[in-house]
Amino acid sequence: MNWSPIDFEADLNKDQYAAVTAKDGPALVLAGAGSGKTRTLTYRVAWLLLEKNISPNQLLLLTFTNKAAKEMIERVQSLTGLGQTPRWSGTFHSIGGRLLRQYGSLIGLSQSYTIMDQSDSEGLMTAVIKDSDKAFLKNKDHPKAKVIQNLLSYARNTRQPFVDLLRERYPWHENISAQINGFVKLYDTAKREQQVVDYDDLLVLWLRLLQEFQDVQAACQEHFPYILVDEYQDTNIIQAEIIDLIGAHHNIMAVGDDAQCIYTWRGALFENIRSFPERHPGTSIYKILTNYRSIPPILKLANNVLAMQPGDSGYPKELVAERKGNMRPYVVPLIDTRQQAQFLVSRIEALYEEGIPLSNIAILYRAHYQALDAQLEFTRRGIPFIITSGLRFFEQAHVKDFVAQLRVLSNPDDSPAFERLLCLLPKVGPATVKKVRMAADKVLKKQLDGHESAHGDLFDKAHPRDPDFFTALAADEVSNKIPVDARDDFKSMVATFLEVRPLLQGKEALSPNQAVEQMLEGWYGDYIRNVYPDWENREEDLQSIISFASRFETMAELLAQLVLMNSETSDKHIEPDDEAVRMTTIHQAKGLEFPVVFLISCADEWLPLKRAIEEGDVDEERRLFYVAVTRAMNELYLSFPMMHATRGGGVQRMMPSRFLSEIPSEHYEKLSYGSRW
């Protein structure tokens, strides 16, 4: 054995060392949360280079982000002191792109092919649809190109027939499913003719080369006798098959954690990591279970979460704490989401006084709408926070769009809101909005002809108290100002206003939450389904406004608060490095760690989500819960509301998450808000 600058046995714990020095052959490394997965993989590369004398060009290192690959290679360079490091390292897509440059001519792809980004792909899909049927995208009931493109991507990455998936997810498009499938075929033809590929092609065509050309497969097998795969639990069916074909020699080390497989919604296949030993006979399984992140009580709770999963749902494992500490997690039942927000502020202020920086504190949640009250309360109390998984609630486009509708419903004179709303329609800009407003004014003048002296300057524009404004919008001479492509959408929008506006008047007028519910059931509810691929998440966000609206007696009060909150959350830009509390979804928190974690809204139908319960995806929700609790280093708080306002003005009793209910009481301390802080 050659001299090595690294003392592998001294640098690694027993489990890590066993995996790093594994003999040739297939190896599955199950690296638990906080156990040093990246360290293990980095040292494995160094071991192969220094101890096995493997050429850097013979290693294939596959990751899920280029950043991860770069960091690993930099660590290898620092460890080994070698100038040469694996040249074939990067994401599956980047490696696929390089190999397509080399072998793509076999399937009619030139070396100078172009890779389209998401915007380019959507543009090409739009173009082929318009070339095939100019009227298709003009119909408000038809899905937009972005929705079709997103569904196609999922179908390809999960290898499901596109038409079957379309009928399953969008059953209301059954009558046009054959036509949409025709667009998909035209899209593929256009890509070939233009010598362009989209992101998914980098995998699909790579696999095709391996399957159809034995010499390509043999060349890859010879060139990459050693393959290392990071985050193996996140691979989809195509990525797993690529690895299986290239790694026919079985010198594959797959590193991951089945308990952290939380991306099946975007194509990850949980079965890949479960079936790895079957696909690669003789697989050695290494478990790295020493956790360097969390104190023992937090890990006891996390281990219990895993222990309660069905027997065939994953590899048995139990994390072992390296750190010391005896502070048990807290379970905090609260009256509602407003009291939950008050609790967060109270405890965070106390933590800050204890010397814990705000940047060491994270608030995690399953879905964006669950953090609405927390954001409002933090804004009111002046506690800085950063949404690391997107925009603040009221800064999201679909929320701002919907609030604009409520503003116009209450006050048609609200020109900024009216303009924002109409500009959602295709080919409608400020100039068109002005023409529409002027045309509506003319219709109103005709309706009020003979009463000018009574109305004075109200002829200059539609008056907010004049219910005839929406009737005027419905007139042909007004709708004709809208481009043909957007006319159906415009008429549907106006129809919603005509339906809801009269219900706001009189003794039996709709309450604010009822008005919000009515508006959601109208035009915009249909709009988001055909415009946004993630319409279900956005619909849940908007549904949460119904509950929020139930706190107000009038629409004027509701709108005043909505506008105030939107302006308040937008008035200060906080940089990522600033001293501020981190707010993020659980998905976006994976791979991160925080000294203090608040996992909020741990109620059934929120975590797990109601949608997941209905669709039978509770196992993945459990893994999400596990990922969330294992982000915490020193303190963990699990809170849930006991009541929640529902559609129609009622109140729903919320039950604690089934994942919480399964945890023995000795693993946590129950906290009654107000009794201690």
Q: What is the pLDDT of residue 574?
A: 61
Per-residue model confidence as pLDDT tens digits over 312-326: 677 889 999 999 999
**Residue 25, H or E segment:** none
Residue with tokens 């996140």: 234
Per-residue model confidence as pLDDT tens digits over 632-653: 999 999 999 999 877 666 788 9
- The conformation of residue 605, written as its DSSP 8-state character, comes to B
- Strand arrangement, sheet containing 330-334: 385-387, 581-585, 361-365, 594-599, 632-641, 330-334, 669-670
Top-ranked range on mean pLDDT: pick from 180-184, 433-437, 480-484, 569-573: 180-184
Per-residue model confidence as pLDDT tens digits over 63-78: 988 888 888 888 888 8
On the 0-12 / 13-18 / 19+ scale of CB atoms within 10 A, 164 is exposed
- pLDDT tops 60 at residue 117: yes
**Residue 278, H or E segment:** helix 271-279
The whole-angstrom separation of Cα 556 and Cα 410 is: 8
The 3-class secondary structure across 305-345, one letter per residue, is HHHCCCCCCCCCCCCEECCCCCCCCEEEEECCHHHHHHHHH
Closest Cα partner for 315 from 607, 592, 28, 628? 28
Q: What is the pLDDT of residue 526?
A: 82
The answer on whether 31 is annotated among ligand-binding residues is yes
Reported confidence tier of residue 472, pLDDT bands at 50, 70, 90: confident
The answer on whether 382 is annotated among ligand-binding residues is no
Contact assessment for residue 604 and residue 657, using Cβ atoms and an 8 Å cutoff: yes
Q: What is the pLDDT of residue 571?
A: 43
CB atoms within 10 A of CB 296: 18
When pLDDT is averaged across residues 291-309 and rounded to a whole number, the result is: 95
Contact assessment for residue 283 and residue 26, using Cβ atoms and an 8 Å cutoff: yes
Q: Are strands 385-387 and 581-585 parallel, antiparallel or unpaired?
A: parallel
Work out the angle at residue 594's Cα, subtended by the Cα atoms of residues 336 and 13, and round it to the nearest 5 degrees. 135
Per-residue model confidence as pLDDT tens digits over 223-266: 999 999 999 999 999 999 999 999 888 799 999 999 999 999 88
The answer on whether 34 is annotated among ligand-binding residues is yes
Long-range contacts of 499-502 (CB under 8 A, 24+ apart): 500/409, 501/409, 501/467, 501/470, 502/467
**Model pTM score:** 0.86
The answer on whether 450 is annotated among ligand-binding residues is no
Residue with tokens 């933590």: 351
SS3 482: coil
Q: What is the pLDDT of residue 465?
A: 39
Question: How far is residue 231 from each of residues 281, 374, 429, 555, measured CA to CA in Å?
Answer: 21, 32, 45, 49
When pLDDT is averaged across residues 143-164 and rounded to a whole number, the result is: 94
- pLDDT tops 80 at residue 577: no
Per-residue model confidence as pLDDT tens digits over 436-460: 888 888 888 877 665 543 444 433 4
CB atoms within 10 A of CB 324: 7
Q: Are strands 651-653 and 643-645 parallel, antiparallel or unpaired?
A: antiparallel
Largest Cα–Cα separation, the chain: 104
The answer on whether 69 is annotated among ligand-binding residues is no
The answer on whether 22 is annotated among ligand-binding residues is no
CB atoms within 10 A of CB 83: 7
Q: What is the pLDDT of residue 83?
A: 67
Amino acid identity, residue 324? K
Reading the block at residue 564, the tokens are: 């105030």
Q: What is the pLDDT of residue 461?
A: 45
Q: What is the pLDDT of residue 500?
A: 86
- The conformation of residue 651, written as its DSSP 8-state character, comes to E
The answer on whether 254 is annotated among ligand-binding residues is no
Angle between helices 201-212 and 92-103 (to 10 degrees): 50
Question: How far is residue 55 from each of residues 122, 313, 512, measured CA to CA in Å?
Answer: 42, 38, 69
The whole-angstrom separation of Cα 548 and Cα 512 is: 9
The whole-angstrom separation of Cα 458 and Cα 537 is: 42
**Alpha-carbon dihedral angle through residues 237, 214, 201, 67, given to the nearest 10 degrees:** 70
Amino acid identity, residue 299? L
Per-residue model confidence as pLDDT tens digits over 627-637: 999 999 999 99
The answer on whether 440 is annotated among ligand-binding residues is no
Closest Cα partner for 635 from 306, 320, 351, 338? 351
